[in-house]
Amino acid sequence: MSDFEKNPLQDLDHWEDDLLKRYPEPEVKAKEDYRNYVDSERQNTVREFYRLNHKYQTYDFVKEKEAEFLQFNKRKMSIWEAVDFLNTLVDDSDPDTDLDQFQHLLQTSEAIRADGHPDWFVLTGFLHDLGKVLCLFGEPQWAVVGDTFPVGCKHSDKIVYPEFFEDNPDSKDERYNTKYGVYEANCGLDNVKMSWGHDEYIYQIMKDYLPEEGLYMLRYHSFYPQHRENAYDHLMSKHDHEMFKWVDKFNPYDLYSKVPTPPDARALKPYYEDLAAKYLPDVLAF
């Protein structure tokens, strides 16, 4: 696989730019003001990103990645070491912000805190993108970010660029190309394999430490085919629908909290050190 196939996006945030274009919020900064790229060039890279994502995210691929990464034997780090590690992903070509990853995470979590939500919700906002360290373990972009979707069943036409699933071998496999595929009606998302990426990875790392509501936010915050398009009601349980109320609460903070004014990271860090210590061990296995 070529370097371009591994990393078709100039910056991981271009995926989020595309989300803003697809799901604009009328009462926030206009989507066209977020970045100053030539739309056709950016759109071409986003299309190529999704072509690769939809081609390679198969049921077997997800099982392989689970076997590889859910041993948590890549690196042991504190939260702060993980944030510093993630900071190496900062791309100087990004015209929208000079913020490092710590400041970007703070923008999400501080917006949540300003609205008076519980402290575990604030911490969830701070943690939600830490799974992007997968890129630093050699994973291609299309296996780290992107809208997530179930594998092992028919691909919904509500998924972005559904035509690209034509090249996915599961679309021609009778085990996987029916409405329910390997699943049963309303079996619950905990029994469904999602396309591999930073959502599932950070969920698996944090699943013993945060309330269930926060874990749903981590695990499904990129599952736009469901929480924006309701494309997978047939797999969701009643409990999933109740928990997705929290995913819906989280989503605007994820998409719309990026602003040019940097948070005062030095002043805020003691609060987040205390908050992390309340819920998390000193060292986590990645």
Please report how many Cα atoms fall inside a 13 Å half-sphere around the Cα of residue 190, on the Cβ side: 10
Secondary structure of 190-245 in HEC code, one letter for each residue? HHCCECCCHHHHHHHHHCCCCCHHHHHHHHHCCCHHHHCCCCCCCCCCHHHHHHHH
> Is pLDDT above 60 for 98?
no
Report yes or no: 256 and 100 within 8 Å, Cβ to Cβ: no
Q: Which residues contact 146 (CB under 8 A, 6 or more apart)?
A: 15, 49, 50, 53, 195, 197, 222
Biggest alpha carbon distance in the chain? 56
Beta bridge partners of 150: 194
pLDDT over threshold 60, residue 104: yes
Per cent of the chain over pLDDT 70 is: 90
Structure tokens at 137: 């373990």
CA dihedral 194, 199, 201, 204 (to 10 degrees): -90
Q: Are 144 and 197 in contact (CB under 8 A)?
A: yes
Inform me whether the pLDDT recorded for 188 exceeds 70.
Answer: yes
Predicted model pTM: 0.89
Mean local confidence (pLDDT), 44-72: 96
Q: How far apart are CA 186 and CA 238, in angstroms?
A: 8
Is the pLDDT at 200 greater than 90? The verdict is yes
Is the pLDDT confidence value at 34 over 60? no
Asked if the model's pLDDT at residue 96 lies above 90, the reply is no
Q: Are 69 and 79 in contact (CB under 8 A)?
A: no
**pLDDT tens digits for 238-281?**
999 999 999 999 999 988 777 667 788 889 999 999 999 999 99
Crossing angle between the packed helical segments 238-256 and 101-114, to the nearest 10 degrees: 120
57 contact partners, CB below 8 Å, separation of at least 6 = 142, 143, 149, 151, 168, 195, 196
